[in-house]
Structure formats: C-alpha cells, structure tokens
C-alpha cells in the first residue's frame, strides 16, 4: 500500500525537531508534546512515527510503548492522535489511510504489539467520520476507553458580543458581578505565573480534601520543559495584587484546552472564575483560536463544575471509541486480560475515594 511517494520514519527526530513538527499542524495538542509524554510516561517509553508524502511531512504521532513483562508482547498506545491536519490543508482521507497503514505496519507488524488509538476526535464530527473511514482495518472498541473524554466545546467563531449573549443568563449575571469587583487579571507562560497558580491549587486541594490523579508538580515540570511557543498559558485573577483564582489552558494549533483551575474562598465570593473564563475567551478570539475544549465534565461526580461549564453554552461532545488492531490472538488476549485486571483495581479505588473536584489527568 505504501508507494514510493509515501514513506514512514520511526524514532528519527530529536525532541526539539518534534516540537517544530507540531507547529506545522492545526490539530496539534498538548498531549502529543514531548514534554507531556516524557514527564507522564518517561522518554524511554515513547515512540514517534512521521509519515511523509513526497518528502513533506503529512502526519505525525507520538505513542506510549508499554511492555509489562520480559515476554515479547505489549501495548502501543496513541492518545489524542494522530496529528494529520497540516495548516492550510484541511483533513485528507488519503493521509488518514496512509497513516493507518504506517502505524499498523510498524507497531502490529514489525513489533508484534497490540495497537490502541484514542483519537483526538469527537463522536459525530467530520473528523471522527474521516478517521473511521481511513482506519478501516482497525476495530472500534469501547472496552479500551478507560477515561472517555466527555466535555463541552465552545465554538469561537461568533463575535465576542454574540458569545457573551449565548451564555446562560445566570452565568452572564455572575460575570457582570465579577466585573464590578475591582479585580485584575494577569497572564503569562513563565514559571512565576505557574508557581503562583500552584500555590492556589495546593491551598484549594488542602481545603477541600478531594482525591485526584492530577499531580500539579508534573504539570510544573512540563511547563518548564515545553518550548516557549507551546507552554500552557496561566491566567491569575487578583484582588489588590493578591491572586484569588487562576486557570491554566493549553493553546496549540486552532484549539485550546482548559487544563486546571483553582479558586480561594475570597475568589469564590468575588466570582473570579467567571472573569477568568471571559478573559481567556477574549484572548483566544484575539489570537485566532477556533475551538475551546472545557477540559472534561462529570455531571454525576462533579455537578457543580458541570453546571459552571454548561453556562458557557458549549456543545456537549464525547471522544470517539478507541481504534484497535493486533495481528496476534495471543497478544490480544494477554492485553485484554491485563485491561480487565486494571479496570477491577481502578474500580475498587474509585469506590473508596470521593468524587474528584478537579479535572482528571489524561
């Protein structure tokens, strides 16, 4: 299937070169950065595939390689990928088909692994339809959807005036109240802003005593390690120069993702989170961003957070089911057995822990 115009390279670029490649794609995202992968999984457990067409990079993907034992089997996991929408080119079914072949040939064929892809696409979207039609040799398997990304997506195409009008009336009223509280918002991507946010986050977590698998220090490491153009943007709401609330968002390609948020008791009283979200939306509009992912919702586990985000009138969306492929029945059986054990352990921990009040990690 791969002709002379198409070629695939594996593990051939440095992390700096990988960052430059991401800049070429409008569907680039935080979870495909070297910094996220290396802090989260370890550099030694990553693999990167580059698809070229006529010498030009057409699609890229960063995968986690997981081999639980010394036996010759394992899992290749691609989260929030592949990245296949070059700036100015739009989606291409042929690129999807070629990328599907390259991924399957490398990780299922050459390495004999079970390949699982959790695409950066939402059910019912044109992107999901294109990926499904391009990855026809893969099977959609919801059993591998450990943390299905259910979220709200705000379309930033309307004018700022129309966006504000679209908000829930109560949400708009709270925003108006916050604007009368003499608050100021500062923003940046440096370590100082993130350290101020971390202090707010740690205080909030201590006060509310909630369980979460978000490690704020990991995100600080990522922030320090990311290329300057790919760092998360930190917004801090201040009263008389003291931070009372903050949020962290990743902005890459044509989309932004809400990553983390924190509010002090004073910030709650001052409705600071409403002003932060509105300030972020205005900044995204000014910088040509088309979509804002509100970072996941959990109506049952965190109804308050769901209501707050719902007030921004975003479109509810759920990540499409994972695409899986494996050439070995034995490897497939072992991976599925391991998944079953993991689910049982995770379910037990979830029953013992209170619902998270913060966005879970990916």
Q: Matching CATH topology for 6-149+319-352 and 152-316? A: yes
Location of structure tokens 């009283």: 269
pLDDT of residue 358: 38
pLDDT of residue 354: 37
Q: How many residues does the chain have?
A: 362
Q: What secondary structure does DSSP assign to 260-302, as a single string?
A: EEEE-HHHHHHTHHHHHHHHHHHHHHHTT--EEE-----TTT-
Distance in angstroms (rounded) separating the CA atoms of residues 130 and 69: 36
Distance in angstroms (rounded) separating the CA atoms of residues 281 and 163: 9
pLDDT of residue 346: 63
6-149+319-352 CATH = 3.40.630.30
Residues 6+ apart with CB under 8 A from 289: 156, 251, 254, 255, 256
Angle, CA 94 vertex, CA 88 and CA 100 arms, to 5°: 110
Phi, psi of 194 (to 5 degrees): -70, -35
pLDDT in tens, the chain (362 residues): 457 799 999 999 999 999 999 999 999 999 999 999 999 999 999 999 999 999 899 999 999 999 877 666 799 999 999 999 999 888 899 999 999 999 999 999 999 999 999 999 999 999 999 999 999 999 988 776 666 789 999 999 999 999 999 999 999 999 999 999 999 999 999 989 999 999 999 999 988 877 777 899 999 999 999 999 999 999 999 999 999 999 999 999 999 999 999 999 999 999 999 999 999 999 999 999 999 999 999 998 889 999 999 999 999 999 999 999 999 998 888 888 877 776 666 666 544 433 333 342 33
Distance in Å from the first CA to the final CA of the chain: 33
- CATH class, domain 152-316, is alpha beta
Give domain limits for the chain: 6-149+319-352, 152-316
pLDDT of residue 347: 60
pLDDT of residue 336: 84
Number of other CB atoms surrounding residue 72 within 10 Å: 11
Residues 6+ apart with CB under 8 A from 206: none
pLDDT of residue 68: 78
């Amino acid at each position: 299937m791969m002709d002379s115009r198409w070629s695939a390279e594996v593990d051939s670029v440095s992390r700096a070169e990988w960052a430059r490649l991401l800049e070429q794609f409008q569907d680039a995202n935080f979870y495909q950065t070297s910094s996220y992968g290396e802090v989260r999984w370890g550099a030694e457990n990553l693999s990167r595939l580059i698809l070229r067409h006529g010498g030009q990079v057409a699609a890229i993907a960063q995968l986690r390689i997981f081999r639980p034992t010394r036996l010759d089997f394992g899992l290749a996991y691609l989260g929030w990928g592949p990245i296949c929408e070059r700036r100015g080119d739009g989606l291409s079914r042929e690129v999807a088909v070629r990328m599907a072949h390259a991924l399957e040939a490398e990780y299922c064929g050459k390495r004999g692994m079970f390949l699982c892809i959790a695409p950066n696409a939402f059910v019912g979207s044109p992107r999901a339809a294109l990926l499904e039609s391009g990855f026809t040799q893969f099977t959609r398997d919801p059993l591998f959807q450990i943390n299905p990304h259910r979220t709200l997506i705000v379309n930033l195409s309307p004018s700022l005036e129309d966006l504000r009008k679209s908000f829930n009336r109560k949400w708009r009223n709270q925003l108006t109240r916050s604007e009368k509280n003499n608050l100021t918002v500062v923003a940046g991507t440096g370590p100082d802003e993130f350290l101020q946010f971390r202090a707010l986050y740690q205080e909030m977590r201590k006060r509310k005593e909630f369980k979460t698998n978000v490690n704020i220090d990991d995100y600080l490491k990522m922030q320090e390690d990311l290329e300057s153009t790919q760092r998360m943007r930190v917004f801090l709401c201040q009263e008389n120069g003291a931070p009372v609330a903050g949020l962290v968002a990743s902005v890459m390609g044509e989309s932004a993702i809400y990553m983390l948020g924190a509010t002090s008791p004073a910030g709650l009283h001052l409705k600071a989170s409403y002003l932060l979200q509105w300030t972020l939306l205005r900044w995204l509009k000014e910088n040509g961003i088309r979509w804002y992912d509100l970072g996941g919702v959990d109506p049952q586990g965190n109804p308050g957070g769901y209501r707050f985000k719902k007030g921004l009138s975003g479109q509810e969306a759920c990540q499409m089911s994972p695409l899986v492929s494996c050439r070995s029945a034995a490897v497939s059986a072992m991976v599925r057995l391991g998944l079953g054990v993991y689910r049982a352990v995770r379910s037990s921990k979830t029953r013992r822990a209170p619902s998270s009040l913060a966005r879970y990690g990916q």
